[in-house]
Structure 1
């Protein structure tokens, strides 16, 4: 009978520990990225009794393992673009400054005062580094955002699609370089567009359209080439003489040819004349060659109008926002409208993730039983995708935990009854001698 006392005690200890596991799960029901655990029971080695048949009597129970359950948690939408959630397997990798590497499913990231992306513990998010062209280098390191700028890009193409009114009278272009732009009456129509030099300085470039004959127009390009004042000059398209661009239309008003000095044979409406712009006054030493694309322009009997106009340069830009795509690519959005890839989040995968060591603060450490990590970009090597503006909720199922709690409570009560019943039986035994 004494054995039953110790059997009951083992049940009390095991179910008490199971209740602790359940309580921990319930307490962390609202912890981001938390993974529930489960207490796994096993019987204790049975006692073999003598006799013709080997009779065995159980000696109770014990907790053989507390298993981590890495099932997927629900993704919740947030307003922070650096809130990241993993859908699928894998862990974010964070580095303690001058310390160990940790792994986590909690993606509550932000930028610290030094410009690095960190978790709430101040540990640095690890990612694949990228070169200036946005290509992954393979090196893993910290993500640095402070001081990021988008370099300027010089304009080398102006695209202008216009309709020039076929009802216009012919005009005679008259312009002399100086402090004023061409006067009305010396052209039929004009447009203007801002372009950028190699240092990101903006410059207004004007295009004046003059009708010289039926179905024939000229385009004259004028700009200011003085950084300290106003000095409007006409672009030279013919290496030494002030030669405009000639635009020829067919009898249906469609563009038939664009040329500088001699018509093309056959006509070439896609020809792009090149303007050499002098921005040396701004410190740009080499002439800036800019192609002029007038393709698809028309001459219809309707008002002069710009159908489409664009240029491919831009100024320097400062960082105003950060985005993260499903592949974990972190990109900066800049004031000049450019988007620049900065880094790509790296995820770690373990063969035996349930054997990772929990160290608190939503962090795990690699253990001997878990094996080493396999690193990869989101969506590769069996790891999941990353979603921005999202957090993974705890995978605790409260209904299931309450059922386990009831079962643990009843088992605990039953084991108490085993002990009290055994005690009563021992009392009866002691009363035999009375």
Structure 2
């Protein structure tokens, strides 16, 4: 056979379908700001609005009605923020989950609905910032301009299990056919919003190309990619962000160009290997139905399907011949490859072939030159693998030959019997 080794194939596409539990809690810290002192004023003319910036989405103006104070004012602010339209749709949860409250001492607290940052193309923060809207005094009267801020966080490379809700692993291959284990951690950052972070064993990648903020020496892992998924209220996958790449040496990474596409530098292999994670056809990003991959329903988080198109080098284990005469080799890496082609020949005068023994024949001048081709083409015969040919003996002729041989044997045996009787008579005469 022409080949007993199958070359490796680097992973280019990985399909990850899972259900992420919609009832899972938001994991991480939601950014907030707390008033520096109690608010003692009610809203009035010139005291009705302020600007708020949630998770770095940009300042937006919040306006409430006059005559509100305390819990009523907190509810009005909360409703007004939730009605705002985010500049970045991946940060919609910061608004829909926003909470405004006031304690018994009159201190207001504004809390984002989003924990930490989102891993998409637009720079995100975990902070909540309140500023004055022009000359309006509401922000100052709520004592938010000098309030105490808490920056939100979610995934941490130092504690991937504790800062995620669900994880799954997949083996991928580099250009040399070496296998590498990638683990994807899913963190619920907000309502219908999940971040994913992909890590690899630090021994498998060129760590010099990765910032120390994305490496944990204790666990021996390196973050190689990250992204954000958002879901519709019906559980369908709505949006997929372009993935962040971390082989650029920066803590924040670089923004990719394709949703889910990572760029990884494996040791000794081709640099900048692109591996695209496919989470299904999202509704808004790809125009799909959002149900053929990763979903968010109210059931336990679990993997539905994991596949990837890479494989290691393999050695030939067995081969078979199909009906078209193709000899297929099965290799140790699970690949099936065509190795050779069996052809059939038709001679102008088959009776002119020269017998060479063992039921084989050779071309001769009388047989003419053959016409060759694949089975069942140009009037050629069929080919059946793993099949023994039935006997081509003429049974009628064989029976006739057998009967003739039997008659001959009987005649010869009678001659011997007669000769024996004659000899016996001669012996008796002598007596």
| TM-score between both structures, scaled by the size of structure 2 | 0.53
Is 1:395 aligned with 2:392? yes
Gaps of 5+ in 1: 1-142, 237-243, 263-270, 412-434
- How many angstroms apart in 1 are the aligned matches of 2:221 and 2:312? 22
Match of 1:316 among 313, 316, 319: 313
* Secondary structure class of the residue paired with 2:171: strand
Partner in structure 1 of residue 335 of structure 2: 338
* Counterpart check, 1:245 vs 2:220: no
Q: Which residue is 1:256 aligned to?
A: 238
Coordinate RMSD, CA, aligned: 2.8
Larger radius of gyration: 2
**Matched residues, number:** 249
Structure 1 residues 366, 261: closer, same or farther in 2, change over 3 A?
closer
Deviation at 1:331, TM superposition (A): 1.1
Q: Can you give the 5+ residue segments of structure 2 that lack an aligned partner in the other structure?
A: 29-153, 206-216, 245-257, 281-292, 409-431
CA contact (8 A) 1:272 1:294 kept: no
**Number of the residue aligned with 1:290:** 275
The 5-angstrom pairing of residues 98-177 of structure 1 reads: 143-144=1-2, 148-172=4-28, 173-176=154-157
Preserved contact between residue 242 and residue 259 of structure 2 (Cα < 8 Å): no
- Deviation readout 1:378-402 (Å, 9 max, x if unpaired): 1212211221112213300334322
Q: Which whole-Å CA distance do the structure 2 matches of 1:203 and 1:408 have between them?
A: 75
Does the Cα contact within 8 Å between 1:197 and 1:288 map onto a contact in 2? yes
| C-alpha contact 1:165 1:299 (8 A) present in aligned 2 | yes
1:199 is matched with: 176
Instruction: Give the whole-Å Cα distance in 2 for the aligned partners of 1:276 and 1:216.
Output: 23
Q: Which residue of the other structure, out of 268, 275, 281, is the alignment partner of 2:262?
A: 275
**Secondary structure in 2 aligned to 1:401?**
helix
Of 356-365 and 297-306, more deviation after overlay is shown by: 356-365
Q: Are residues 188 and 353 of structure 1, via their aligned partners in 2, closer, same or farther at CA, if it must alter by over 3 Å?
A: same
For 1:164 and 1:288, the matched residues in 2 are separated by 28
Work out the CA distance in 2 between the residues paired with 1:274 and 1:379.
46
1:39-58 equivalences in 2 (<5 Å) = none
Q: Is the 8 A contact 1:379 1:385 kept in 2?
A: yes
Q: Matches of 2:243 and 2:322 in 1, distance apart?
A: 51
Partner deviation per Cα, 1:110-165 (whole Å, 9 max, x = no partner) = xxxxxxxxxxxxxxxxxxxxxxxxxxxxxxxxx445xx111000001110011000
Aligned counterparts of 2:170 and 2:243: Cα–Cα separation in 1: 25
**What is the alpha-carbon distance in structure 2 between the residues aligned to residue 398 and residue 210 of structure 1?**
78
Q: Deviations over 1:17-59 (max 9, x none)?
A: xxxxxxxxxxxxxxxxxxxxxxxxxxxxxxxxxxxxxxxxxxx
TM-score by structure 1 length? 0.53
Q: In 1, Cα distance between the equivalents of 2:279 and 2:356?
A: 66
> Which structure is higher in RCO with an 8 Å CA cutoff and minimum separation 6?
1
1:272 CA displacement? 3.2
Distance 2:242 2:371 in 1: 62
Q: Does the aligned pair in 2 maintain the 1:225–1:278 contact within 8 Å?
A: no
Kept in 1, the 8 Å contact 2:155–2:187? The answer is no
Match of 1:304 among 269, 292, 301: 301
